[in-house]
Chains A and B, each alone.
Chain A
Amino acid sequence: MSPRRHFASFPFVVLLALSACTPPARDHRYFGSITPPQGQVFRFNNGAEPEGTDPGVISGQPDGRVARMLFEGLVTADPQTLEPRPGLAYRWESSADGLVYTYHLRPGLLWSDGTSLTSRDFLYSWTRALDPITVSRNASLLYPVRNGERFNKGELTDAAQLGLAAPDDSTFVVTLENPTAYWLFLNSYYTFLPVPRHTIEKWGVRWTRPEHIVNNGPFNLAYWKQYDRFEFIPNEKYWDRSAVKLERIIAYTVDDLNTSTNLYKAGVIDWNPSGYIPGPFIPQMQPFEDFRKGSYQGVYFYSVNVTRKPYDNAHVRRALNLAIDRLAITRDVLKGSREPWGRITPSGYPGYEGAVQVAYDPARAREELAKAGYPGGKGFPKLNILFNTSEDHRRIAETIQAMWKRDLGIQVELSNQDWGSYLQATTSLQYDVARRSWIGDYLDPNSFLQLLTTGDGNNRSGWSDPEYDALIKLAARTLDPAERFRVLQRAETMAVEAAPFLPIYHYSTIELVKPWVRGLYPTALDTHPLKAVFLDHEWQQHQPRAGGNQP
């Protein structure tokens, strides 16, 4: 019995031993532990497991974060403003008609295995991203390239006809289909990162595994275990090696919001990125100095399936739109963590005014419903709200269910589906009203307004208006920025009036950053170049800090 008892008590011995350890430092101004890690080791939660890290193929925030640590493109984003900054290209120029961009690469660029990196690598990488065989999830971002869209859709098979050229090793020339105001912003997106041809041809789809990968960015991949973590170390071959101060980055793969926040509180991670704090906890955290909130280019909306009766009637859609009390949702359900929003494009495009926002107006909502032939909701069929399984989506759906019942007299049922079924239902228009959201890919209203054009794969509401399509096309051809924005605004006003999308809130980035982290800024697209991040071990001497936002 005695060895057994000894063994059984093992966990409790450990408990006792641990309780004898000194607990971490605490301070009422910060959330949880304020004992920093040893050395320049930065630990954060990267969120859901990336589907892959091949920049040309992937999509999604966690995937992109890893790709951007491993690779660097011609143009990089400023860590604060996200404006285009020289990356591998030290300068570039564009032609007067805005159609031709010429990039000049830095001399002596190397891949992490020591082979040299030239403009031909970009020719290969961008062609590859557009090639349908590559199955790039974000190839459409390269559609401004001449013939890019046709090539990607399989209507053109000759890659030589693409508007891409590498006249010599250090020059890369891109010809566009139309002048594209946001082209350089697009260039810092991860789909535009270079990938190593020799490694890909050798290993195929498995080239991104830690034992095979060859990369060119500030960090190398040192370790990866699925659903556990990534570890990165500085890339000695990187052209700007001296700017990299971190010795190691540990990116955990924790998809549960509560767990992620717990890890932050316990001091296991230094950064809990946006999207990983459970909604109900946000109000309690706002007073802490390590809590950060910023504007984020995303809109949460309900999409109405206009191919179904009675939702083909614009009066019905407007009634639904007017009967959403956005303020109540953001204030009470989301506890002030998001901003109420009543139009399709988000804020934050300098010079773009946008359509007038829809406001909560139950009286007008009832009028609209009566105009549609359902006074007081009489005779209105049972409406179904579709959303993918999530606490927050459910809370919002339950709230809107109550609002529509109260203000319109409509019976509403909720259906909650797993991600796959939900996507299937929305793409095949098998729903009445579905929860959706859209996050901008680049800083331009077009990133949102493009969605509602006829036949756009992301429209998913069945709404189509030739006049709207014509306006979006006209804007694409318009060179004068102010005039272009006016055209886009007219289009947006049309779409808000027709109400195939019922906007609900504007996203914010909400994150927790330990006070010793430097060089990590809130940005409009929630992207964070980690190249220049470092840990300040004397952070307590560098007090006070303004709201935790300045280094």
Chain B
Amino acid sequence: MSIGIAPPATVSSATQTSAPRSLWGDAWMRLRRNRMAVASGAFLVLISLFALTAPWLPFLQDPTLQDLARGATPPNPTHWFGTDELGRDTFARVAHGGRISMLVGLVGTFVSLVIGVTWGAVAGYVGGKVDEFMMRVVDVLYSLPYIFLVILLLVFFSKSLLMLFVALGLVQWLTMARIVRGQVLSLRTQTFVEAARALGAGTPAILFRHIVPNTLGPVIVFTTLTVPAVILQEAFLSFLGLGVQPPAASWGTLVSDGAKVLALFPWLVIFPGLAMSLTLLAFNFLGDGLRDALDPQGSRQLRP
């Protein structure tokens, strides 16, 4: 993956970026026409609101309330999604699990965003030997069994949420850095940057006030696609017992626990699984829609 060509498409999208207003307007038009993307967006807003407000929703039961004598009941009018082996309401657990999964997805993505954007912007803007070195680091890291380091990190040190955010963010920033670098590379010779430099703006100011905002399109697209990837990663870590620790539960923990009793209590995997898969699907549809809208030919090659 160390091929020294800038995709021609990036240049064309950069020319569009220099006229931001029409770009965002056009993008919005294009996005609205994509029915799947709009539906996905609406679904995501709904499910996020639901997850966010879960602790205060009156019709939700306490997700930690146990009813040992009535464990593992199939879906019924009091427990819409049934109960788990400890008699806890699966519906409430899915709602609260969504909170955690979304949180992990968003914060993990945010971490990767911060590292990736900074790294990519600096590399692209400074250029030359520094760029060469920084991108070589990315290339090298790309080829690493990154997940190993994550596993080691979580096994050896704490399995706290914080560590989980950091570990997951660390996995995802590489692609982000590449995208941003490509964008910055083509932007730094644009006239408005030259103008800012002529007016005596320092490098950080130019970088973060003028250049980074103009890479927003591809970054938004990629962010939308990173969130589901992080959620899935957390689920994978949950399967290994390294994800969110009880009594907190994410969709990942619910699904991986449910998968173990699939033959007995299928509802314990079906409902959290459905919630997770639909959310992942929606993020992917929305991401695809945004890409088609914002960046019709751009960063496609950098997926997934």
The docked-state distance in angstroms from the alpha carbon of A389 to that of B155 is 11
Contact of A399 among B86, B241, B245, B261 (CB under 8 A): B86
Known: A391-B257, A394-B246. A402 touches B66 (CB 8 A): yes
Q: Give the complex CA separation of A391 and B261 in angstroms.
A: 11
User: Cα distance A397–B247 when bound, in Å?
Assistant: 10
Q: Are B85 and A414 closer than 8 Å at their CB atoms?
A: no
List residues of chain A with CB within 8 A of the CB of B71.
Answer: 332-333
In the assembled complex, the Cα of A176 lies from the Cα of B293 at a distance in Å of 86
| Cα of A391 to Cα of B69 in the assembled complex, Å | 19
Query: B72 interface residue, CB < 8 Å from A?
Result: yes
What is the CA–CA distance of A16 and B173 in the complex, to the nearest angstrom? 44
Are A398 and B247 in contact, CB atoms less than 8 angstroms apart? yes
Contact of A398 among B159, B241, B246, B261 (CB under 8 A): B246
Bound CA–CA A278/B241 (angstroms):
16
Interface of B is mostly: loop
Min CB distance A412 to B, Å, is 10
Chain A residues, CB < 8 A from B261: 278, 280-281
Q: Which chain A residues (291-337) contact chain B, with CB distance < 8 Å?
A: 328, 331-333
What residues on B are CB-neighbors of A401 within 8 Å? 247
The size of the chain B interface, using a CB distance under 8 A, is 20
Distance in Å: Cβ of B82 to nearest Cβ of chain A: 14
Instruction: Indicate whether A430 reaches chain B with its CB closer than 8 angstroms.
Output: no
In the complex, chain A residues 384-418 whose Cβ is within 8 Å of any chain B Cβ: 389, 391, 394-395, 397-399, 401-402, 414-416, 418
Counting CB contacts under 8 A, is A258 at the interface? yes
CB contact list, A161-212 vs B, under 8 A = none
Whether A332 contacts B247 by the Cβ 8 Å rule is no
The reply on B64 being an interface residue by CB < 8 A is yes
Answer whether residue B35 sits at the interface, using C-beta atoms and an 8 A cutoff: no
- The reply to whether B246 and A399 form a contact with Cβ atoms under 8 Å apart is no
Tell me the residues in window 22-39 of chain A with beta carbons closer than 8 Å to chain B beta carbons. none
A414–B245 touching, CB < 8 Å: yes
Which residues does chain B contribute within 8 Å of A414, judged by CB atoms? 245-247
Alpha-carbon distance between A258 and B259 when the two chains are bound, in angstroms: 10
Q: In the assembly, what is the distance between CA of A375 and CA of B262, in Å?
A: 44
CB distance A328 to B85 under 8 Å? no
Residues of A near B68 (CB, < 8 A) are 328, 331-333, 399
Q: Select from chain A the residue with minimum beta-carbon distance to B268.
A: A280
Query: Mask for B258-285, Cβ within 8 A of A = 1, else 0?
Result: 0011001100000000000000000000
Q: How many angstroms between the C-alpha atoms of A437 and B255 in the bound complex?
A: 29
Can you name the residue of chain A whose Cβ is closest to the Cβ of B87? Answer: A332
B260–A391 contact, CB under 8 A? Answer: yes
What is the CB-to-nearest-CB distance from A256 to chain B, in angstroms, rounded to a whole number? 9
When distances are taken between beta carbons in the complex, the residues of chain A under 8 Å from B159 are 416
Interface string of B235-255 (1 = CB under 8 A from A): 000000100011100000000
Bound: A463/B269 CA distance, A: 44
Report how far A331 CA is from B264 CA in the complex, Å.
Answer: 18
- Cα of A332 to Cα of B86 in the assembled complex, Å: 8
A284 within 8 A of B: yes
Q: Which of B142-166 contact A (CB under 8 A)?
A: 155, 159
B260 contacts which chain A residues (CB < 8 A)?
258, 278, 391
Please name all residues of chain B whose beta carbon is closer than 8 Å to the beta carbon of A332 when the two chains form the complex: 68-69, 71, 86-87
A415 & B64 in contact (Cβ 8 Å cutoff): no
Query: Given A395-B85, A395-B86, A284–B264 Cβ distance below 8 Å?
Result: yes
B-side contacts of A391, CB under 8 Å: 257, 260
> How far, in whole Å, are A278 and B257 apart by their CA atoms in the complex?
12
Which chain A residues border B246 with CB–CB below 8 Å? 394, 397-398, 414, 416
Residues of B within 8 A of A399 (CB): 66, 68, 86
Chain A residues lying within 8 Å of B257, measured Cβ to Cβ, are: 391
A416 to B160, CA, bound (A): 11
Expressed in whole angstroms, the Cα–Cα distance for A389 and B265 within the complex equals 22
Given contacts A394-B246, A414-B246, A389 and B241 within 8 Å (CB-CB): yes
Contact B245 A416 (CB under 8 A): yes
Docked Cα-Cα span, A295 to B246, in Å, equals 31
Q: Taking the nearest CB of chain B, how far is it from the CB of A387, in angstroms? A: 10
B86 and A280 contact, CB distance less than 8 A: no
What B residues does A278 contact at CB under 8 A? 260-261
Q: How far is the CB of B152 from chain A (nearest CB, A)?
A: 11
Across the interface, do A398 and B265 meet the contact criterion of CB distance under 8 Å?
no
**Are B264 and A280 in contact, CB atoms less than 8 angstroms apart?**
yes
- A398 contacts across to B, CB distance below 8 A: 66, 86, 246-247
Pick the most buried of B66, B155, B245: most chain A CB atoms within 10 A of its CB.
B66
- Expressed in whole angstroms, the Cα–Cα distance for A467 and B139 within the complex equals 67
Q: In whole Å, how far is A3's beta carbon from the nearest beta carbon of chain B?
A: 29
A residues within 8 A CB of B85? Answer: 280, 333, 395
Q: Mark interface residues in B59-91 (1 if CB within 8 Å of A CB, else 0).
A: 000001010110110000000000001110000
- Taking CB atoms, residues of chain B closer than 8 Å to A395 are 85-86
Report the minimal beta-carbon distance from A466 to chain B, rounded to whole angstroms.
Answer: 39
Q: With A and B bound together, what is the CA distance between A414 and B246 in angstroms? A: 7
| A246-295 with Cβ < 8 A to chain B | 258, 278, 280-281, 284
Which one of A284, A328, A395 has the greatest number of beta carbons of chain B within 10 Å?
A395
B68: shortest Cβ distance to chain A, in Å?
Answer: 3
| B98-130 to A contact mask, C-beta < 8 Å, 1/0 | 000000000000000000000000000000000
Q: How far is the CA of A448 from the CA of B53 in the complex (A)?
A: 51
**Do A280 and B72 touch (CB < 8 A)?**
yes
B157 to chain A, nearest CB (A): 9
Residues of A within 8 A of B265 (CB): 280
Chain A residues whose C-beta falls within 8 Å of the C-beta of B66 in the assembled complex: 398-399, 402
| Interchain CA distance A187-B176 in the complex, whole Å | 65
Q: List chain A residues, Cβ under 8 A from B72.
A: 280
- Whole-angstrom distance between the alpha carbons of A397 and B66 in the complex? 12
A333 touches B245 (CB 8 A): no
Give CA–CA (A47, B245) in the complex, Å: 26
Closest to A416 in B: B245
A157 to chain B, nearest CB (A): 38
6 interchain pairs, CB-CB under 8 A: A332-B87, A391-B260, A398-B246, A401-B247, A414-B245, A418-B241
Can you name 17 extra interface pairs (CB under 8 A) apart from A331-B69, A332-B71? Answer: A258-B260, A280-B72, A280-B264, A281-B261, A332-B86, A333-B86, A389-B241, A394-B246, A395-B86, A397-B246, A398-B66, A398-B86, A398-B247, A401-B247, A414-B245, A416-B245, A418-B155
Chain B positions within 8 Å of A, measured between CB atoms, are 64, 66, 68-69, 71-72, 85-87, 155, 159, 241, 245-247, 257, 260-261, 264-265
Kindly list the 5 A-B residue pairs having the minimum CB-CB distance in the complex, ordered from nearest.
Answer: A332-B68, A389-B241, A280-B261, A402-B66, A416-B245
